[in-house]
Structure 1
């Protein structure tokens, strides 16, 4: 049994609606179902979804504050006022700032830009930056992707005689700043119909209000910021990103062309996925480890050579960022393990460390969340001032912005979204901060919130997704938030081949079959699972269909997200030099897929090795082989309350008898995963007995034991002459004695010339020898396929 890492949830489309759409649009039933599941109700809505143009964008003057902002900017341009564009250091902020630079150039305005340094200054407006702007003669500030919470700072700007126009998309606080104009679709009483714009999307709406139809190439920059900031790719965002990706395929910007080149992105095939994983991390790297100005320079340069230089610089920064993240993740994980010391992981994980680069703590939080599936806050501590700057990432069950709001008195600053946020506070407040967050979470989260969920687009057969349908699905792109890449469930697929691939064998490749159709399955970063997947097993798969293009051929391929097996599994790890280390390694490997609690794991072993087992398996239920009972729990209470929970068993020693093996299988009725860790070839080999073998031994015995002979001598001679082990001959002597063919007394054996006629099959020793030999043949000598198949059949027979 191999459970899925996620709970699979399917968004069921109305079959009637799906069928109607498929017919009206002349698409496959699968694509009709995908459209229906995304809320498309008619062919007209489908046309807008699939082919929406820039003409379908909403009137920018529906945004509250736009009517005030436009004439103020026009006046500033006409009178030559010096304008400051104040941005942010993430990819959305960089894109927003870059877009406004192109806008200022287009208008011929006098302008400057300011982006705070993430580590030295932190998020948002800062008074010292406003002082600098005032000294530069700035009279109008336009914020992009920031400003909605800057109540005190905007009041300070006003006191210096500077007007501030805020363009932002973050959640508005209860008290809004007294800006000249506030443009944010999420602010109270704003009638704008689409609330999901990125910061760069709001900035674009400002340019639209000013120009009517901005240059179409600007949508390239909008697409980058929207995708990078994980905004929903629906409504206006879908239109802007679609057009932006289309423009990128023949990009007008040297910086974007260079960025695609260094990211290994083919221009003609650029997708939202390329932007998210190839471009956005490199743009973000500038603000995380250096200053975001270099990324802004890249997106706004008109010089090819400068673009190449800047793009390669960002690439190097991104590689450095990856190493920094790995180091902090390791430190943070160690800190959490020491903090919990084996106890339950808290509902909200709060970790802080001196020297942790605050530019990457958000990425670290995401990686810790992925491992533990808890809301996570990672903070870097300034050892000189004691100030902590951090980032939060949350799960769907907890709105982290609301959680932070519940303890806002403990922080100097905070802001963000339901799923991600940033904050600053003094280290003296950390304990109270962590306690307050966990108290809030305890009243909001339930146990079901801690099970990660993977959405799917239904259960289908491999025959439903040929190449033609996979190609057809591309019409639903661009994919991203609110319009994810379709994920499908394929059940009862037989596993034909398993192998690792890639550098260091980190990746997994499977070949599966369903209804005679074969499909290659690729899982990145899951190479270790090759050790716990048996060929021939039946799998349920969850993944994304794609096309594998190689040397001119195109084949369907499944990019695996998750999998499960409903059958028992037996893993052959026999003969391990260090079974204790193997248990530790396997426990780490299978943890997320077997969903194991302390009562679900057991180990069975010989009593002689119990002491080291108690040290290494303190969280497992320990059982020992027993001559009479089969097996016994080391602690009696475990036998009463623990055995019904056990699903995973480590067998450190092979049983001595079939009765012991039966006792193991019957003691754990829910057993679904068995790891064989016993040594092999340690016992003299037994053969499954047959009548000819017994006949031959009987004749030999009649010759050497007509007169009483020492048993030890007889066994040695019989072993040599019959070509079988002394252990085997001894077992056969037990059969002869039971049938009164020999007499055993005081270490002597005497052959009985005329014994009563008895059938070998009537001997319990004969039957026991057959069962024992069969068990040992499989457990000690059989190949992996043989032992796993045999053991599974025994498990199924016991259930």
Structure 2
């Protein structure tokens, strides 16, 4: 792993901010690195406020969307809330549908089948709406490129409202309203909302017309926080506010579906990592293994016992998903080895038996072993379908575009994409993709980078620093957990390997003779420790946290990496 120390910000800015906030220069440095340079910016960062959310009517077409929904309610029309099968889509559908149902009964939900319909708005979904007398479809987390689908719906007298956050194509669908902050002609001040966030702006506008304040809509923010966590959007601006208050709801009075998914953790306080690692994978597992509608049922269930039954089923889906992705990852690694492709600049693997619902996860797993752009293909009808994942800094979407003559269709963004291909084109595409990546990727992109915020000594690890860093939460893209580097650290001789395969590591470290030692945990670092010869004088990269045991709270380091010096 390549360690990179972030550039030191302007000393004058750091000094000024430290004085203004009455904090140490280390804290001021961390803030300036995050673009927080003034007292007012720091106040907004440390004290997120719902009053700082933007007026939803600043979003292009919001007035048209609200008017059409109110007209549908006035005319007793049937409304279909349509969304993608991932976490962002299912939470968005759950949010908008449950809000509308709170005062209007003629609302149903529709999640496309991952395997029969694929991603986004489907012709089958429109036919379902037509067959069941729905005259308005609200599409969430999808639809921005569904020009043909919206035209098809229009031919059946079905109107569309699109709420999306993906980049539009050259032509917008001919919908009643297209809500997307990434529209070139949309002047909405914050561009990084997830699909569920756009859905929240819609109910914020609807609620405003009904005399409701943003505080009245707080109970929906547990869904928005879950979507923000899962969709890896920046935790800045409105996303930070929505995530902050969403986590408050999760810790005070979450909806039953989220409550039952978290109850086995038995934690005093839930944070965004619990949404990323516990809630989101289970919601995703429904769409991967069975159907995304199962997740919507869970997230909109008012009866706690029924929610527990739904959660048990979803937990079972997740267990099945974990078994599948482990087995397929092993198969794929064997295939790479057998084909002697370890030294390629790409990973492209295929097996007709692999489960389509987990190939994206498998692509991410393969990057853990071979750090390079990765595509995992499986059979899908008479075609091959693939999920792509990339490495930091490399735009896999652009690489696919350069090879698009071989593809049937593709879509996605810089770091993740999906595609289909005719079987006879697979070999040529694989060669073309390898050539394109080799031509355009830089050598350093093929080595994982660990960005370090600051180099410090152990004497800086005070309870006050940990208390302030807690206020940096929620963490996520553009506000990652600060990573520190400390050099000249000694192992006290109490190292312990943990886990059934001794894959994890627990150390007690000291930096000078007066230090009693600081506990450190390194997940996945057991093998590296075994291969590091004694005596061990180290440089370590880590994040700061706390460990609570029998009512005693102690400082704990979470190792990202270490090197012998």
For structure 1, which segment, 532-541 or 135-144, has the greater mean C-alpha deviation from structure 2 after superposition?
532-541
Residue 360 of structure 1, aligned match among 328, 353, 358: 358
1:47 aligned to 2:43?
yes
Give 1:280 deviation, angstroms: 0.7
Equivalent residue of 2:454, what SS? coil
Deviations 1:713-769 (A, max 9, x none): xxxxxxxxxxxxxxxxxxxxxxxxxxxxxxxxxxxxxxxxxxxxxxxxxxxxxxxxx
**Superposition RMSD in Å:** 1.7
Aligned to 2:442: 446
Is contact 2:3-2:452 (8 Å) kept?
no
1:409, CA displacement in angstroms? 4.2
Task: Determine the C-alpha separation between the residues in 1 that align with 2:133 and 2:331.
Answer: 47
Q: Distance in 1 between matches of 2:440 and 2:187?
A: 31
**Residues 27-53 of structure 1: per-residue CA shift (max 9 Å, x gap):** 333222211111111111100111121
* 8 Å contact from structure 2 (residues 538, 563) kept in 1: yes
Could you say what secondary structure the match of 2:257 adopts?
helix
Q: How does 1:18-97 map to 2 (within 5 A)?
A: 18-97=14-93
Number of the residue aligned with 1:558: 557
Alpha-carbon contact 1:294-1:310 (below 8 Å) kept: yes
Counterpart mapping for 1:380-779 below 5 A: 380-382=378-380, 385-497=381-493, 498-515=495-512, 516-517=514-515, 518-566=517-565
Decide whether aligned partners of structure 1 residues 115 and 247 sit closer, same or farther in structure 2, where only a CA change above 3 A counts.
Answer: same
Q: After the TM superposition, which of the residue ranges 516-525 and 49-58 deviates more from structure 2? A: 516-525
* Aligned pairs for 1:152-191 within 5 A: 152-191=148-187
Work out whether residues 154 and 164 of structure 1, in 8 Å CA contact, stay in contact via their aligned partners in 2: yes
Between stretches 162-171 and 119-128, larger displacement belongs to 119-128
Q: Are the aligned partners of 2:525 and 2:561 in contact in 1 as well (CA < 8 Å)?
A: no
SS in 1 for 2:505: strand
- Aligned partners of 2:558, 2:158: CA distance in 1, in Å? 53
Q: How far apart are the structure 2 equivalents of 1:73 and 1:220?
A: 24
Residues 532, 564 of structure 2: 8 Å contact kept = no
Give the Cα–Cα distance (whole angstroms) in 1 for the partners of residues 543 and 63 of structure 2.
45
CA distance in 2, matches of 1:295, 1:537: 49
Say if 1:113 and 1:249 are closer, same or farther in 2 by CA, change over 3 A: same
Per the normalisation by structure 1, the TM-score is 0.68
* Matched residue, 1:635: none
- SS of 1:61's partner is helix
CA deviation after TM superposition for structure 1 residue 24, in Å: 2.2
- Any idea what SS the aligned residue of 2:143 has? coil
Per-residue CA deviations over 1:77-124 (Å, capped at 9, x if unaligned) read 111111111111111111111101112113415122111111232111
Q: Provide the residue aligned with 2:252 in structure 1.
A: 250
8 A Cα contact 1:228 1:276, kept in partner = yes
- Alpha-carbon distance change, 475 to 219 in structure 1, aligned in 2, over 3 angstroms: same
Contact residue 265 and residue 274 of structure 1 kept, 8 A: no
Which has the larger displacement, 35-44 or 496-505? 496-505
For the 8 Å contact 1:171–1:415, the answer to whether it is kept is no
Cα offset for 1:251? Answer: 1.7
How far the C-alpha of 1:438 sits from its partner, in A, is 2.9
What's the offset of the Cα at 1:398?
1.9
Displacement, 1:306? 0.7
**Does residue 323 of the first structure (1) align with residue 323 of the second (2)?**
yes
Conserved? CA contact 1:467–1:555, under 8 Å:
no
Distance 1:312 1:403 in 2: 41
Which of 118, 136, 139 in structure 2 is aligned with 1:140? 136
CA distance in 2, matches of 1:11, 1:230: 24
Whole-Å separation in 2 of the counterparts to 1:118 and 1:175: 26
SS state at 1:172 partner? coil
Alpha-carbon distance change, 432 to 66 in structure 1, aligned in 2, over 3 angstroms: farther
CA apart distance, 1:151: 1.8
Structure 1 pair 440–374 and aligned structure 2 pair: CA distance change class (3 A) = same
Asked if structure 2 preserves the Cα contact closer than 8 Å seen for 1:13 and 1:34, the reply is no
Tell me the distance in 2 between the aligned counterparts of 1:327 and 1:145: 31
The DSSP-based 3-state class of the residue aligned with 2:218 is: coil
Name the structure 2 match of 1:705. none
State the shift of 1:247 in Å. Answer: 1.1
Deviation for aligned residue 1:565: 1.8
**1:99 aligned residue:** 95
Contact between 2:410 and 2:417, CA under 8 Å: does it hold in 1?
Answer: yes
Aligned-pair CA distance for 1:341:
5.2
Displacement after TM superposition at 1:245 (Å):
0.2
Q: Does the residue aligned with 2:356 lie in a helix, a strand or coil?
A: coil
Q: Secondary structure at the match of 1:564?
A: strand
Deviation at 1:535, TM superposition (A): 4.3
Offset at 1:154? Answer: 1.4
Conservation of the 8 A alpha-carbon contact between 1:499 and 1:530: no
Which consecutive residues of structure 2, in runs of 5 or more, have no partner in the other structure? none
TM-score norm. by structure 2 comes to 0.95
Contact persistence 2:117–2:124 (CA under 8 A): no
SS at match of 2:357: coil
Task: In structure 1, list runs of 5 or more residues that go unmatched.
Answer: 567-799
| Candidates 4, 9, 15, aligned match of 2:11 | 15
Report the alpha carbon displacement of residue 534 of structure 1 after superposing the two structures with TM. Answer: 3.8
Q: 2:364–2:389: 8 Å Cα contact kept in structure 1?
A: yes
* Distance verdict in 2 for CA 1:252–1:524, change over 3 Å: closer
Alignment of 1:258-407 (within 5 A): 258-262=260-264, 264-266=265-267, 268-340=268-340, 344-345=343-344, 347-382=345-380, 385-407=381-403
> For 2:180 and 2:105, how far apart are their aligned partners in 1?
24
The DSSP-based 3-state class of the residue aligned with 1:101 is: helix
1:11–1:455 contact (8 Å) kept in structure 2: no
SS at match of 1:476: coil
Q: Which residue of 2 aligns with 1:689?
A: none
| Bigger RCO (CA 8 Å, 6+ sep) | 2
Q: CA distance change for structure 1 residues 506 and 439 in 2, over 3 Å: closer, same or farther?
A: closer
Following the alignment from structure 2 to structure 1, what is the Cα–Cα distance between the partners of residues 278 and 2?
Answer: 26
- Quick check: which has more Rg, 1 or 2? 1
Residues 335 and 379 (structure 1), Cα distance of their counterparts in 2 relative to 1, 3 Å cut? same
| Residue 238 (structure 2) aligns with | 236
Q: Closer, same or farther in 2 for the Cα pair 1:531/1:443, shift >3 Å?
A: closer
> d(CA) in 2 for partners of 1:98 and 1:45?
33
Check conservation: 1:124, 1:146, Cα contact below 8 A: yes
Aligned length: 556
Q: CA deviation at 1:202?
A: 0.8
Quote the Cα distance in structure 2 between the aligned partners of 1:434 and 1:397: 21
Q: CA deviation at 1:468?
A: 2.5
